[in-house]
Structure 1
Amino acid sequence: MNASPTAELSAAGVSIWLDDLSRSRIESGNLVELIGSRNVVGVTTNPTIFANALAKGHGYDSRIADCARRGLDVTETIFELTTADVADACDIFADVYAASNGLDGRVSIEVEPGLARDTAGTAAQAKQLWERVGKPNAMIKIPATVEGLEAITETIAAGISVNVTLIFSLERYRQVINAYLTGLERAREAGIDLSTIHSVASFFVSRVDTEIDARLRAAGTDEALALTGAAGVANARLAYEVFEQSFASERAALLRAAGANPQRPLWASTGVKDPALPDTLYVIDLVAPGVVNTMPEATLEAVADHGEVRGDTVSGTYREADQVLNAIDAQGVDYAEVTELLEVEGLQKFDVSWAELVETVRGALSAAREDVR
């Protein structure tokens, strides 16, 4: 009997994490099912996911009613609901966490988007979330803004596992790795067991294609049009080269000798947005040892249904990937400008989702208080 595509991915060294979490997934047994049927070994969340979860159905009604009875405000209620979901999901993945020696079985929760430009605020809330969830297999998501870099270092230095999010450029990725290694060095100085600290660096893929392809189509030349759908994969493959080089350095080797773990690359934004591209593109073309691929459910199901895993599709592709980005640059597309824009837009999207989440919870709290009366 042939192995399923998701089992083949796992065998090739890819950790499959689901990019979604809700109370209904937890209580229905769906997460447990996905561990067995789809080789899912982790979960990622963000403000958009939580906003969607709370806006759908009645899965949170009893918990919101309890928050209303306790007199919690909107911010406190959001904190209560989201940390409870993450803690319960951590329990579901506890066996995966133990079996992988802490590598997988991870559940991520993000600091508030409004703190993305606030180093001290981000670091403080990261510690608050970590303590409240209270599970060793949680991860705190911190965006890779300039201000977020020092917060990443401070959080790692405190012995807290971090999922660095919203990485688009290779230069920012190098800075993220430096922030992680610096955090490990500080943790070592503080006497913290480095083996207990884990991190992933979430490198976004499809959004790069969306923005660059729009510019290539605007250029309109045959050469430009031939490059559409190629930037996201090329950029991610070069990120893997950065990962290999960075963690083969003497600095990283000293930390590894002290028990430290490498910060694994995580492919995020892997749902294909262009219907002209294969719906499994950002999974099948980004298979490499030691990576995480966090997939929305539609992408996960597409891979399970018709994904054709071809083994490692990243190692040794760096020269070709570099040529792709150089050819795109020759068409007048500014890589630095695109990646800076994508970071700004990513933060704006999270701000909008957070505002929607606040309004949803405010309305639900108000209704629950009316019911109490």
Structure 2
Amino acid sequence: MKAIQQLRQLGQSLWLDNITRDMLDDGTLRRYIDELSVTGLTSNPTIFNAAIGEGQAYDEDIREKARAGVSGEDLFIQLALDDLRRVADLFRPAFKASQQLDGWVSMEVSPLLAQDTEGSIRAARDIHGQAERPNLYVKIPGTPEGVPAIEESIFAGIPINVTLLFSREQYVAAAEAYMRGIERRIEAGLDPRVGSVASLFVGRWDVAVKDKVPAELHNRLGIAISGRVYKAYRDLLDSERWQALAAKGARPQRLLWASTGTKDPKAPDTLYVEALAAPDTIDTMPDKTLLALAGHGAVKEAMRTDGVDAESVLAQFAGASIDINALARQLQEEGAAAFVKSWQELLQRIAGKSAQLTGA
């Protein structure tokens, strides 16, 4: 528990990167909130695919909705929002206590829309309307087509979790889209307080290069990329542009560390969460990592804000012929494709269960 207390005192929020109906029904999430200081939750198609596929927690709900004529994507959205409304209500005290900086849950638009700007805008509006919770983020990927959808959604007052960010350049594009949306709201006389987070995926970098670099560089790239992005984040918060928006009541788009479960069995299971200790950020992590952090995590120091250490490590990867910019684009494309695969598997699973449970 010492590490969790240290991170909270440092100013970092701890969120859970998982959701199942079982953990809602049996009180597991409630315990994480009460005992492990969890103040938010993220989800994605892969997480829901696993949750719905395991056990029978969703079976009765699927049966009832299928018999009512609900199917496909609509059925999934109803199932997911049923869960996320309950979670949002559990986090409502944290939402209020933090003046809406914390206490959020997230729901993704269809991954099939990653290259569809207008479709993403419509989907974000629909999910936001159906959710009926002020502390629910709609997740839009920070792809080239997603960036204008992020701006339009923020302008429309829809809280957005920008997902699938892998590099400084992708983060800056998302942050600027957020600020443009806020600036337009101010010009239109609208409330500038629209929540947003920018989610940087960390661990996938090290998986991508593990067979391409010498052993001394293993499990170092994701942390170095994070250091580079963190410097950009701090620079943005210190910029005149942001300070002008903050003076008018705007709230920062917080930086969120995603994919922070250790992928390498030879590496410490708290590798990323310890290295990414940073004020004014969020770390969303799977149950296993959260429990490891509580059990034996050790936070030594906060991340540097100048990025010097990060750039030194990144220079070593450049020397090993790793093209960071090209790899960032590749990882974003692969991440989007992986979510599409999970989405399709999820809809197939729901269709199969619907048919089985209704006798169709």
Q: Distance in 2 between matches of 1:146 and 1:189?
A: 25
**SS in structure 2 of the partner of residue 309 of structure 1:** coil
**SS in structure 2 of the partner of residue 146 of structure 1:** coil
**SS in structure 2 of the partner of residue 287 of structure 1:** coil
Report matched runs for 1:43-192 at 5 Å: 43-192=41-190
* C-alpha contact 2:11 2:279 (8 A) present in aligned 1: yes
Q: Distance in 2 between matches of 1:20 and 1:172?
A: 24
Aligned to 2:270: 280
Q: Distance in 2 between matches of 1:301 and 1:125?
A: 34
| Corresponding position: 1:258 with 2:255 | no
State the shift of 1:146 in Å: 0.2
State the shift of 1:192 in Å: 2.3
Comparing 83-92 and 47-56, the one that deviates more: 83-92
Percent identity of equivalent pairs: 39
Q: Distance in 2 between matches of 1:30 and 1:362?
A: 28
| Corresponding position: 1:214 with 2:211 | yes
For residue 37 of structure 1, the aligned residue among 35, 38, 47 is: 35
Aligned length: 360
Q: Supply the AA of the counterpart residue of 1:204.
A: F
* C-alpha contact 1:167 1:204 (8 A) present in aligned 2: yes
CA change 1:316–1:120 in 2 (3 A) is closer
Aligned to 1:334: 323
**SS in structure 1 of the partner of residue 13 of structure 2:** strand
Kindly provide the CA deviation profile for residues 93-132 of structure 1, in whole angstroms up to 9, marking residues without a partner as x. Answer: 1111111111111000000000000000001100100110
State the shift of 1:317 in Å: 5.6
Q: Distance in 2 between matches of 1:25 and 1:311?
A: 33
State the shift of 1:311 in Å: 3.6
Q: Distance in 2 between matches of 1:5 and 1:330?
A: 35
Q: Supply the AA of the counterpart residue of 1:71.
A: G
**SS in structure 1 of the partner of residue 211 of structure 2:** helix
Kindly provide the CA deviation profile for residues 59-112 of structure 1, in whole angstroms up to 9, marking residues without a partner as x. Answer: 111211110221112221111101111111101111111111111110000000
Aligned to 1:220: none
Q: TM-score, normalised by structure 1?
A: 0.94
Aligned to 2:349: 360
Which portions of structure 1, spanning 4 or more consecutive aligned residues, are displaced by more than 4 angstroms? none
Q: Distance in 1 between matches of 2:83 and 2:235?
A: 37
State the shift of 1:341 in Å: 1.2
Q: Distance in 1 between matches of 2:154 and 2:86?
A: 23
**SS in structure 1 of the partner of residue 277 of structure 2:** coil
- Give 5+ residue unaligned stretches, structure 2: none
Kindly provide the CA deviation profile for residues 17-59 of structure 1, in whole angstroms up to 9, marking residues without a partner as x. Answer: 0000111111222111100111100000000000000001111
Q: Supply the AA of the counterpart residue of 1:213.
A: K
Q: Distance in 2 between matches of 1:106 and 1:349?
A: 24
For residue 196 of structure 2, the aligned residue among 173, 176, 199 is: 199
* C-alpha contact 1:12 1:311 (8 A) present in aligned 2: no
**SS in structure 1 of the partner of residue 316 of structure 2:** helix
**SS in structure 1 of the partner of residue 200 of structure 2:** strand
- Give 5+ residue unaligned stretches, structure 1: 217-223
Q: Distance in 1 between matches of 2:157 and 2:211?
A: 42
For residue 291 of structure 1, the aligned residue among 259, 277, 281 is: 281
Q: Supply the AA of the counterpart residue of 2:327.
A: V
State the shift of 1:276 in Å: 2.1
State the shift of 1:316 in Å: 4.2
* C-alpha contact 2:140 2:160 (8 A) present in aligned 1: yes
Comparing 117-126 and 7-16, the one that deviates more: 7-16
